[in-house]
C-alpha cells in the first residue's frame, strides 16, 4: 500500500527522547504494540493460564456450554475451548510472523536481483506475474494438497502467495534508487554491486518492508483461518484459531460460542497488527506523517 | 494505444504459460488419485488400477502433459474425469453466479467504502476518522465464513428478510436475484470495503494536501464541493489500482462465500475439483482465473488514461 | 478470455431482459427438494461403489429382484421364474409394461449384458459368475442362467440392495466397458434423470416417469410397487451443514438426508421439522491396522489395541450420545441374522491400560513411528481417528498423525509399501451394516492376505470359512455356526476392530410423508402436502 518511492532516510541513532516523542505522536504504534505484546505473552505462557491439554478428547463431556470448569465451553470432541483458544494463539502468531518474515526475506532477495540484473528481471517477473494471477487461496490449497498439512507448510504456502507483491515493492524501490545520484556516484567510485546494495539500497527498503510485513502478517492469519475452513490448513490435531472456528462453524447454530471466542481473538490480533502497521507507515513515511 | 494493448496482450502469453505449467506440475505431484475416489469404498486394488488405466492416469508425466498442452492449444480444456462433461460446459453453467457475485460485491463495497474513506480523510485526525478506520479494519479481520453465518442467522432466520442460500438467475426476475445475492455480497464486500476505504482515505489526504485544493478552499468554494469535484476525481487512479490488486483477493473470497451460501459458482467448482483431483477442471479454472486477473489489470491500466489525462501509453 | 467476454455479453443481455421477471411455470408441480448425503459427481452405479451413486441408481434404474426389510428376495422386474430340479438352471420371465426412458421396451437382450457388466465389478457378482456356465436370452421376455453347481446366493446377488446393485440398462449402454462410465443415463426406473439440468456440485434433477408401471404389492425397501407421488425430485448440494440446517429450518428445502449428529437435537426442537432414525441397521465404525509392516505385523501389538479401545467413546464422538448407537462386537453388525460376538471377550471386559502396555512390551515394540491417517473432510472418520490418537497417546506410542483429505487417504491406504516409502499403519472408515451382514459380502473381514482389503490381514482358515464354507451352508443355523467360527478367527487376526454401531438420522419438514425407513434412501411413496 505504500509502494511509493521513499527519500533516503538518515540513519540517525534514535535518542531516547526521540523514541518517546515518536510514541506520543503515534498512538497507533503504542496501542497496537501493547495489545500484540499481551497476545504474545498469552502465547508464551499458555500452559500456565489455567489450561489443560488442548488435544485431550473426552467424548463424555462434549458440547458443554461455557461454565466454571470450562470457561469457553467444550467442543464436539469434549476438548476444552479455553485451552484450545489460548494454545491457538501460538499457531496464529507463528503463522503470521513466519509468513511475513519468509515473504519479506524472499521478496527482498528477489526484488534486489530483479532490480539489478536485467536478464533475471525478465524471467523472474514473468514467474511472479504468473504466481500473482493465481488467487492466493487457490494457490495455497493446491500447495497444501501436494504437501502434508503442517504449520510449516501453511507458512510456506501463504508466503509463496504473498511473494510477488513484496518482490514488486522492493523492485520498485531499487529501480527508483538506482538512478539516484548517490547510488550512481557510489557505482562510479568503484563500489561493488554487493556493497552498493548493502550500503545504499538495503536501508531504504527497510521502512516499506516493515509496513508491508505487518500487512502480510495480518492477512496470513486470516488466510490460515480460511485455509482451515476449506480443509487445507494447519493439521486439525493442532489447535489453531482457524481450526477451532472451521471445525465448529458447521454446527454454528448449536455451538456458536466455540466459533465466537477464537474469532474475537483473531479479530483483535489482526486489528492490532494493522494498527501497528499503520502507525509505522505514518512514522516512517514522512510525506504522510507531516500531515497527521 | 492500440500498439500498447497488443503488446500487453502478447505479454500475457508467457505469464499464462508459466501458470499452465505450474498448475499441471503441482496437480500431478499431488498425492491422491481420482481413480480411488471413483471406485468407491468397497473397491479392490484391481478395480482401481483398471479405472486408472482407462482414464490414462497411468501414463508417464510428460505424456500426460503433452496431451493436455496439445488439446489446450486447440482451445479444448478437456473433459472432467468424474462427471464426463466438458470443462467448458461446467464453466459456462457456473459463470453467471460468480460474475454477478463479483459485480454486486464490488458495488456494495464501493458504496460502503467511498463515503467512509472521504469522511475520514475530511475529518482526518478526529475521533470520526479513528472510528471509521477501526470499523474498516474490523471488517477486514473477521473471516468471511464467520460473518456469513452471522448474517444468515440475523437476516434470514431471525428477521426473515432474505433466503438462506442458493442463487437465482437474473433471468428469473430481478427481485429474486437480488434477494439471493444480497447477503453474500455484503459478507464478501466487507473485506473489500475495508481495503478501498483505507486507500480512498490515503489518496484523498494526498490530494487535499495539494496546492490547488488549498487554492480552491481559499477561493471560498464549499468544502464538500471541493472534496467531490477535485478530490474524488484525482483519487480515482489509486482506487482503480486497488480494484485491480483486489480482484485476486476477491476471487479468493468468492471461494469461501460460495461455500457458505451454497452458490453454484466457479470458486466452489475449483475447490471441489481440487479435493476430488479432477485435474482438467482445476487446470482449466486456474487458467481462467489468471486470464481474468490479467485482463482486469489491463482494463485498470487502460482506465488510467481516461481518469488522468496526463497518463498516456 | 473468450468465454469470459461471451458470458459478460450474455449476462448483460439477460440482465436487460430479466428485470421484468419470469413467471413460475412449475407452480402446479410438486417438487421435493432434497439435500443428499454427498455430491453426485458420477452417474454410473456399476462403475463406482459410491453410495450416493447407488441412490441415484435407484431413482433411474430398476432391478430384476429386490430385497425387503425382512431380508427376503422378491421379484421386481421379473414376473415369474423357475428353478430346475438339479438347481442348476434358472429360467426368468420379465413382467409386462417395462419400458426404458427412451421409449424402448426392456427385453432379455438388455438384461443379459447388464447383469454381465455388473458381474465383472461387484464382489458377489464376480463370485456368482465363477459358477455361471451360460446366461442366455431365450426370447424378448425370457432369459436363463445356467450354473455349474447349485448356488443359493444367485438370487440374493440379483436382488442385492447395496453397492453394486445389478441395475438394468439398455443393451447399447450395458455393453460399455465396466471400467468406463456409461455415456448416457437411461433406465427403466420410476424417475428420469434430467441431464440438461444437472449442475455437478450443485443440483441434480429427477422427473417422474409417467410411463412407469409399478407392481401391485405395497412397497417395502426396493421391493413392491414403486408409486411416485411427486412430479420432481431436486437434489440440492449444500456444502456447509450450518447453511443446510438454516435452509431446512426456513423451509427452503424439504428433506436433509444425513444431518451431522450435532444437529439432531436442535433440529428436532424446530417447529415444522421432524428427525427420524432412517436406517434400522445403521453403520459400523472400522479401525484398520496394516498387517504387512511393523509394529502391527505383530499379533500382540494388534491384540493390545483390544484392551484400550472403548466403543462408548467412539460412539459418543461419532453420534454425540450413546442412545444414537449401540455397543456391538459383531463383525457382521448387530441386529442381523449373522450377529455374533464369539471371541470378543478381551474387548468386552474392563479397559485395561496395563495389560495393553504389557502386550506392547512383549511384542518388542521399538518406539518406531506409527503413522495414523485421517481425512478431515469426513467428520465421522476424523472423529474416530482423534479418539484412537488419544488411546495411542495414553499407551505412550510414537505417533505421526497425518491430517489430509479423503482423496489422499483413499490412495495412500492402497499402498503396500513400508511407512517410510509412502505406506501407513492405521486408518479408519465406516460401512453400512447392510454391506457387512453376510460373510462373502463382508470384504473388510477377509483374511486373504495380499488379496484382502487394505491392511492385508492373513488368515487362511478365516478366508476358507468366509468365502467357501459359509456360501455352501444350506440352513440359517449352519450359517450362524460358521459365522461364529469366522468371528473367533477374526478376533485372533483382527482384520479390523469394530468401533461401534451407530444409527444415522434423517430430518424432513413435517409436510413430507412416506419417508422410508431403510438403509438406502428411496423416493417412491414420498409425498409433499
CB-nearest to A77 from C245, C246, C386 is: C386
Residue C4 has pLDDT above 60, yes or no: no
C267 Cα to chain B: minimum distance (Å):
14
Closest CA to C184 of C168, C197, C195: C195
Residue A8 has pLDDT above 70, yes or no: no
Q: Does A260 touch chain C (CB under 8 A)?
A: no
Q: How many A×C Cβ pairs under 8 Å?
A: 80
Looking at chain C, the whole-number percentage of residues with pLDDT higher than 70 is 95
Residue C20 has pLDDT above 50, yes or no: no
The residue-averaged pLDDT of A142-166 equals 81
Q: Residue A62 and residue C377: Cβ atoms within 8 Å?
A: no
Residue of C202, C248, C249 to mutate, interface with B, max B Cβ within 10 Å: C202
| Touching subunits for chain C (3+ Cβ pairs under 8 A) | A, B
A67 Cα to chain C: minimum distance (Å):
20
**Which residue does chain B place closest to A253, by CA atoms?**
B153
- Phi, psi for residue C82 in degrees, rounded to 5: -125, 145
**Which of B113-117, C154-158, C480-484 is least confident?**
B113-117
Q: Residue C403 and residue A251: Cβ atoms within 8 Å?
A: no
Q: Which residues of chain B have pLDDT under 70?
A: 30-31, 209-224, 226-235, 237-239, 241-242, 245, 248, 307-313
Residues comprising chain B, all counted: 313
Look up cell 480443509; give the residue: A231
pLDDT at C364: 92
Provide CB contacts within 8 A for A9, sequence distance 6+: A203, A204, A207, A284
pLDDT at B213: 64
Q: Does C48 touch chain B (CB under 8 A)?
A: yes
Q: What are the pLDDT digits (tens) for A232-284?
A: 788 878 888 988 888 888 787 888 889 889 988 998 998 888 888 878 877 77
Q: What is the 3-state secondary structure (H, E, C) of C126-150?
A: HHHHCCEEEEEEEECCEEEEEECCC
- Chain C residues close to A148, C-beta within 8 Å: 402, 404
B278 Cα to chain A: minimum distance (Å):
12
CB-nearest to B199 from A1, A138, A269 is: A1
| Touching subunits for chain B (3+ Cβ pairs under 8 A) | A, C
Closest CA to C395 of C323, C328, C322, C305: C305
> Can you tell me the distance from the alpha carbon of B203 to that of C123, in angstroms, rounded to the nearest whole number?
69
Q: Residue A263 and residue B274: Cβ atoms within 8 Å?
A: no
Give the confidence band of A150 by pLDDT, cuts at 50, 70, 90.
confident
pLDDT at B270: 87
DSSP H helices, A117-201, are 118-133, 136-146, 151-178, 181-188, 193-196
Q: Quick one: cell of C426? A: 492405521
Provide CB contacts within 8 A for B58, sequence distance 6+: B49, B52
Within 10 angstroms of residue C403's Cβ, the number of other Cβ atoms is 25
Q: Residue B26 and residue A143: Cβ atoms within 8 Å?
A: yes
Q: What are the pLDDT digits (tens) for B175-200?
A: 999 999 999 999 998 877 887 887 77
DSSP H helices, chain B, are 2-29, 34-39, 45-55, 61-73, 87-122, 127-141, 144-151, 174-208, 211-218, 223-226, 233-260, 266-276, 279-307
Look up cell 430398476; give the residue: C62
Which 8-state DSSP code applies to residue B306? H
pLDDT at C314: 95
Residue C38 has pLDDT above 80, yes or no: yes
Fold held by A70-291: MetI-like fold (1.10.3720)
Look up cell 489453531; give the residue: A240
> Can you tell me the distance from the alpha carbon of B40 to that of C410, in angstroms, rounded to the nearest whole number?
9
Residue C528, SS3?
Answer: strand
Q: Residue A254 and residue C263: Cβ atoms within 8 Å?
A: yes
Greater model confidence, C293 or A9: C293
Select the highest-mean-pLDDT range: A101-110, A219-228, B267-276: A101-110
- Mean pLDDT in chain C? 90
C245 Cα to chain A: minimum distance (Å):
8
Q: Does C517 touch chain A (CB under 8 A)?
A: no
Cβ within 8 Å of C, B 17-56: 31-34, 36-45, 47-48, 50-51, 53-54
What chain C holds in terms of domains, given with CATH numbers, is 3-43+189-278+504-528 (3.40.190.10), 65-174 (3.90.76.10), 283-502 (3.10.105.10)
Residue of A130, A147, A153 to mutate, interface with B, max B Cβ within 10 Å: A130
How far is it between the farthest Cα atoms of chain B? 85
C82 Cα to chain B: minimum distance (Å):
32
**Which residue does chain B place closest to C450, by CA atoms?**
B45
Looking at chain B, the whole-number percentage of residues with pLDDT higher than 70 is 84
**Which residue does chain C place closest to A76, by CA atoms?**
C317
**A134 CB burial (10 A radius; 0-12, 13-18, 19+):** buried
CB-nearest to C50 from B40, B84, B259 is: B40
A267 Cα to chain C: minimum distance (Å):
22
Q: What are the pLDDT digits (tens) for C342-376?
A: 999 999 988 999 999 999 999 999 999 999 998 88
Q: Does A141 touch chain C (CB under 8 A)?
A: no
Residue C385 has pLDDT above 70, yes or no: yes
Cβ within 8 Å of C, B 134-153: 149, 152-153
Q: How many B×C Cβ pairs under 8 Å?
A: 182
Greater model confidence, B30 or C189: C189
The b/e string for C106-127 (b: 16+ C-beta within 10 A; e otherwise) is bbbebbbbbbbbbbebbbbbeb
pLDDT at C310: 94
Residue C83 has pLDDT above 60, yes or no: yes
pLDDT at B234: 64
CB-nearest to C14 from B85, B170, B277 is: B170
B40 Cα to chain A: minimum distance (Å):
20
- Chain C residues close to B295, C-beta within 8 Å: 1, 4
Cβ within 8 Å of C, B 250-289: 259-262, 264, 268-269, 272, 275-278, 288
- Chain B residues close to C199, C-beta within 8 Å: 93-94, 264
Looking at chain B, the whole-number percentage of residues with pLDDT higher than 90 is 14
β-pair partners for C234: C33, C205
- Phi, psi for residue C212 in degrees, rounded to 5: -70, 130
Query: Where along chain A do its domains lie?
Result: 70-291
- Chain B residues close to A246, C-beta within 8 Å: 145
**Which residue does chain B place closest to A134, by CA atoms?**
B290
Q: What are the pLDDT digits (tens) for A177-213?
A: 777 777 777 777 777 777 777 777 777 788 788 888 8
CB-nearest to B293 from A133, A222, A267 is: A133
C35 Cα to chain A: minimum distance (Å):
15
Residue C294 has pLDDT above 80, yes or no: yes
Residue of C316, C394, C411, C507 to mutate, interface with A, max A Cβ within 10 Å: C316
C162 Cα to chain A: minimum distance (Å):
29
Q: What are the pLDDT digits (tens) for A23-49?
A: 677 788 888 899 999 999 999 998 888
The residue-averaged pLDDT of C165-175 equals 96
Residue B268, SS3?
Answer: helix
Residue C499, SS3?
Answer: strand
- Chain C residues close to B298, C-beta within 8 Å: none
Q: Does the predicted interface ipTM exceed a cut of 0.90?
A: no
A253 Cα to chain C: minimum distance (Å):
7
pLDDT at C48: 87
What chain B holds in terms of domains, given with CATH numbers, is 2-73 (no CATH), 88-307 (1.10.3720.10)
CB-nearest to B141 from A127, A266, A291 is: A266
Q: Residue C22 and residue B173: Cβ atoms within 8 Å?
A: yes
> Can you tell me the distance from the alpha carbon of C82 to that of C146, in angstroms, rounded to the nearest whole number?
12
Amino acid at each position: 500500500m505504500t509502494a511509493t518511492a521513499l527519500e533516503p532516510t538518515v540513519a540517525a541513532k534514535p535518542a531516547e527522547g526521540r523514541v518517546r516523542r515518536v510514541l506520543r505522536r503515534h498512538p497507533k504504534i503504542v496501542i497496537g504494540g501493547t495489545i500484540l505484546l499481551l497476545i504474545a505473552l498469552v502465547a508464551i505462557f499458555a500452559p500456565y493460564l489455567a489450561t489443560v491439554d488442548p488435544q485431550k478428547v473426552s467424548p463424555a463431556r462434549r458440547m458443554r456450554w461455557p461454565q466454571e470448569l470450562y470457561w469457553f465451553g467444550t467442543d464436539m470432541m469434549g476438548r476444552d475451548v479455553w485451552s484450545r483458544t489460548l494454545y491457538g494463539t501460538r499457531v496464529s502468531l507463528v503463522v503470521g510472523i513466519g509468513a511475513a518474515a519468509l515473504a519479506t526475506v524472499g521478496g527482498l532477495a528477489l526484488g534486489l536481483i530483479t532490480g539489478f540484473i536485467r536478464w533475471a528481471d525478465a524471467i523472474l517477473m514473468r514467474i511472479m506475474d504468473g504466481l500473482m494471477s493465481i488467487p492466493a487461496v487457490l494457490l495455497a490449497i493446491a500447495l497444501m494438497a501436494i504437501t502434508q498439512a503442517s504449520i510449516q507448510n501453511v507458512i510456506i504456502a501463504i508466503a509463496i502467495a504473498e511473494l510477488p507483491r513484496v518482490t514488486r515493492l522492493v523492485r520498485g524501490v531499487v529501480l527508483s534508487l538506482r538512478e539516484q545520484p548517490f547510488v550512481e556516484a557510489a557505482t562510479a567510485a568503484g563500489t561493488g554491486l554487493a556493497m552498493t546494495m548493502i550500503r545504499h539500497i538495503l536501508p531504504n527498503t527497510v521502512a516499506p518492508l516493515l509496513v508491508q510485513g505487518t500487512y502480510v502478517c495480518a492477512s496470513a492469519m486470516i488466510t490460515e483461518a480460511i485455509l482451515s475452513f476449506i480443509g487445507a490448513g494447519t493439521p486439525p490435531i493442532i489447535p489453531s484459531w482457524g481450526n477451532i472456528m472451521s471445525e465448529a462453524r458447521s454446527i454454528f447454530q448449536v455451538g456458536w460460542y466455540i466459533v465466537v471466542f477464537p474469532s474475537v481473538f483473531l479479530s483483535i490480533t489482526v486489528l492490532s497488527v494493522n494498527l501497528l502497521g499503520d502507525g509505522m507507515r505514518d512514522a516512517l513515511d514522512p510525506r504522510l506523517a507531516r500531515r497527521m | 494505444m492500440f500498439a500498447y494493448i497488443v503488446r500487453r496482450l502478447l505479454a500475457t502469453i508467457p505469464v499464462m504459460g508459466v501458470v499452465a505449467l505450474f498448475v499441471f506440475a503441482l496437480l500431478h505431484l499431488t498425492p491422491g488419485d481420482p481413480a480411488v475416489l471413483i471406485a468407491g469404498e468397497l473397491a479392490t486394488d484391481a478395480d482401481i488400477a483398471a479405472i486408472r488405466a482407462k482414464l490414462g492416469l497411468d501414463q508417464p508425466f510428460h505424456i500426460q502433459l503433452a496431451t493436455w498442452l496439445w488439446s489446450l492449444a486447440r482451445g479444448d480444456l478437456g473433459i472432467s474425469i468424474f462427471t464426463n462433461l466438458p470443462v467448458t460446459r461446467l464453466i459456462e453453467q457456473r459463470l453467471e453466479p460468480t460474475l454477478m457475485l463479483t459485480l454486486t460485491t464490488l458495488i456494495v463495497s464501493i458504496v460502503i467504502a467511498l463515503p467512509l474513506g472521504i469522511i475520514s480523510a475530511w475529518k482526518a485526525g478526529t475521533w470520526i476518522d479513528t472510528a471509521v478506520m477501526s470499523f474498516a479494519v474490523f471488517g477486514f479481520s473477521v473471516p468471511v465464513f464467520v460473518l456469513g453465518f452471522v448474517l444468515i442467522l440475523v437476516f434470514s432466520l431471525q428477521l426473515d428478510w432474505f433466503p438462506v442460500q442458493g442463487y437465482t438467475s437474473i433471468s428469473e426476475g430481478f427481485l429474486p436475484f437480488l434477494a439471493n445475492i444480497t447477503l453474500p455480497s455484503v459478507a464478501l464486500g466487507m473485506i473489500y470495503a475495508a481495503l478501498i476505504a483505507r486507500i480512498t482515505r490515503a489518496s484523498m489526504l494526498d490530494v487535499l494536501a495539494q496546492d490547488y485544493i488549498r487554492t480552491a478552499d481559499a477561493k471560498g468554494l464549499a468544502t464538500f464541493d471541493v472534496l467531490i469535484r477535485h478530490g474524488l476525481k484525482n483519487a480515482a487512479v489509486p482506487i482503480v489500482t486497488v480494484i485491480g490488486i483486489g480482484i485476486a483477493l476477491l476471487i479468493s473470497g468468492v471461494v469461501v462465500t460460495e461455500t457458505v451460501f451454497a452458490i453454484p459458482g466457479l470458486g466452489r467448482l475449483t475447490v471441489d475439483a481440487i479435493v476430488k483431483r479432477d485435474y482438467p477442471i482445476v487446470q482449466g479454472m486456474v487458467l481462467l482465473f489468471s486470464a481474468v486477473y490479467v485482463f482486469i489489470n489491463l482494463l485498470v491500466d487502460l482506465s488510467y488514461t481516461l481518469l488522468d489525462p496526463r497518463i498516456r501509453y | 478470455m473468450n468465454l469470459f467476454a461471451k458470458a459478460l455479453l450474455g449476462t448483460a443481455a439477460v440482465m436487460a431482459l430479466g428485470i421484468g421477471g419470469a413467471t413460475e411455470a412449475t407452480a402446479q408441480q410438486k417438487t421435493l427438494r432434497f439435500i443428499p448425503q454427498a455430491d453426485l459427481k458420477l452417474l454410473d452405479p456399476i462403475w463406482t461403489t459410491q453410495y450416493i451413486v447407488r441412490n441415484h441408481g435407484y431413482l433411474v434404474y430398476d432391478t430384476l429382484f429386490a430385497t425387503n426389510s425382512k431380508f427376503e428376495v422378491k421379484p421386481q422386474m421379473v414376473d415369474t421364474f423357475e428353478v430346475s430340479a438339479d438347481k442348476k438352471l434358472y429360467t426368468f420371465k420379465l413382467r409386462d409394461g417395462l419400458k426404458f426412458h427412451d421409449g424402448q421396451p426392456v427385453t432379455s437382450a438388455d438384461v443379459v449384458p447388464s447383469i454381465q457388466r455388473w458381474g465383472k465389478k461387484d464382489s458377489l457378482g464376480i463370485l456368482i459368475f465363477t459358477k455361471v456356465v451360460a446366461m442366455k436370452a431365450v426370447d424378448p421376455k425370457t432369459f436363463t442362467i445356467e450354473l455349474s453347481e447349485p448356488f443359493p446366493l444367485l438370487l440374493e446377488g440379483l436382488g442385492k440392495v447395496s453397492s453394486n446393485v445389478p441395475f438394468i440398462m439398455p443393451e447399447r449402454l450395458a455393453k460399455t466397458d465396466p471400467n468406463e462410465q456409461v455415456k448416457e443415463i437411461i433406465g427403466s426406473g420410476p424417475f428420469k434423470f434430467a441431464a440438461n439440468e444437472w449442475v455437478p456440485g450443485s443440483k441434480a434433477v429427477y422427473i417422474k416417469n409417467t410411463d412407469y408401471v409399478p407392481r401391485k404389492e405395497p412397497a417395502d425397501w426396493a421391493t413392491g410397487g414403486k408409486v411416485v407421488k411427486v412430479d420432481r425430485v431436486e437434489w440440492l448440494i449444500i456444502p456447509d451443514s450450518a447453511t443446510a440446517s438454516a435452509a431446512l429450518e426456513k423451509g427452503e428445502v424439504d428433506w436433509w438426508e444425513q444431518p451431522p449428529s450435532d444437529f439432531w437435537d436442535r433440529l428436532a426442537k424446530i417447529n415444522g421439522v421432524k428427525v427420524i432414525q432412517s436406517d434400522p441397521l445403521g453403520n459400523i465404525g472400522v479401525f484398520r491396522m496394516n498387517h504387512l509392516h511393523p509394529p502391527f505385523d505383530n499379533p500382540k501389538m494388534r491384540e493390545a489395541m483390544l484392551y484400550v479401545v472403548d466403543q462408548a467413546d467412539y460412539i459418543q464422538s461419532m453420534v454425540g450420545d450413546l442412545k444414537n448407537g449401540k455397543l456391538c462386537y459383531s463383525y457382521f453388525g448387530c441386529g442381523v441374522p449373522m450377529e455374533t460376538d464369539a471371541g470378543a471377550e478381551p474387548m468386552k471386559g474392563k479397559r485395561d491400560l496395563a495389560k495393553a502396555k504389557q502386550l506392547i512390551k512383549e511384542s518388542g515394540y521399538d518406539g518406531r513411528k506409527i503413522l495414523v491417517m485421517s481425512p478431515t473432510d469426513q467428520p465421522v472418520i476424523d472423529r474416530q481417528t482423534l479418539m484412537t490418537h488419544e488411546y495411542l497417546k495414553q499407551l505412550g506410542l510414537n505417533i505421526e498423525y497425518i491430517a489430509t483429505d479423503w482423496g489422499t487417504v483413499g490412495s495412500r491406504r492402497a499402498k503396500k509399501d513400508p511407512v517410510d516409502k509412502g505406506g501407513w499403519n492405521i486408518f479408519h472408515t465406516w460401512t453400512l451394516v447392510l454391506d457387512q451382514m453376510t460373510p462373502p459380502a463382508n470384504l473388510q473381514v477377509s483374511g486373504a492376505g495380499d488379496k484382502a482389503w487394505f491392511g492385508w490381514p492373513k488368515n487362511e482358515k478365516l478366508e476358507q470359512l468366509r468365502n467357501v464354507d459359509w456360501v455352501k451352508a444350506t440352513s440359517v443355523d449352519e450359517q450362524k455356526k460358521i459365522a461364529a467360527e469366522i468371528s473367533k478367527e477374526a478376533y485372533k487376526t483382527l482384520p479390523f476392530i469394530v468401533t461401534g454401531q451407530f444409527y444415522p438420522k434423517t430430518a424432513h419438514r413435517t409436510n413430507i410423508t412416506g419417508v422410508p425407513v431403510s438403509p438406502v434412501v428411496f423416493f417412491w411413496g414420498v409425498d409433499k402436502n
